[in-house]
Structure 1
């Protein structure tokens, strides 16, 4: 599970650049069209959630609490993106990816807690 957290964290940090660039372009398009959409801003928030979660996930991949914090950031980014995707349909894809990454981190951390508890019980 530690390797999966490392890989997902690195992928998130790389995807930050792509999502941020797309979100800037979408935000500029929204501003020029004066259509009142917030998909560009939501995309930037999602990108920063991915970056923060990726850094926390890589830095604390051996920690139980760090995985939960990273998972919460992924879920927050996914929620922000899915609620506000508007005409920026790629944002829905990045949101679903955030939900998947968040689920991996949170379930992995919960599984880690159960494994540690059973190891502690066996040692006693």
Structure 2
């Protein structure tokens, strides 16, 4: 899921839409939910939290970049 979400994130990186970021967020949330149900594997729970944080980071970074671009275009 990490590799797939990274590929989906890299492909539309020059676009203004949120499609790649939302897809990356969804894939990372799915990965984190699968890891939270790991049972006795504590290290997998850590990777699950990391994937959740990365997924949120995808979306936040793209929103910040779009906001910065819109502010520069308006000036």
1:45 corresponds to: none
If the length of structure 1 is used for normalisation, what is the TM-score?
0.51
Q: 1:54 to 1:104 in 2, by over 3 A?
A: same
Q: How big is each residue's C-alpha offset from its partner over 1:14-62, in whole Å with a ceiling of 9 and x where there is no partner?
A: xxxxxxxxxxxxxxxxxxxxxxxxxxxxxxxxxxx22220111222233
TM-score computed with the length of structure 2 as normaliser: 0.77
Residue 55 (structure 1) aligns with: 7
| Deviation for aligned residue 1:63 | 3.1
Deviation at 1:67, TM superposition (A): 2.3
Larger Rg: 1
Q: CA deviation at 1:79?
A: 2.3
What's the CA shift string for 1:76-118, capped at 9, x where partnerless?
Answer: 2112211x11012221011011012112101001102211221
Please state which structure has a larger fraction of its residues in helix.
1
Give the secondary structure class of the aligned counterpart of 1:81: helix
1:85 matched to 2:38? yes
| RCO comparison, higher one (Cα < 8 Å, 6+) | 2
Q: Which runs of 5+ in 2 are unaligned?
A: none
1:118 aligned partner: 71
Aligned pair count reads 73
Query: Runs in 1 of length 4+ with deviation above 3 angstroms?
Result: none
Q: Which residue of 2 aligns with 1:44?
A: none
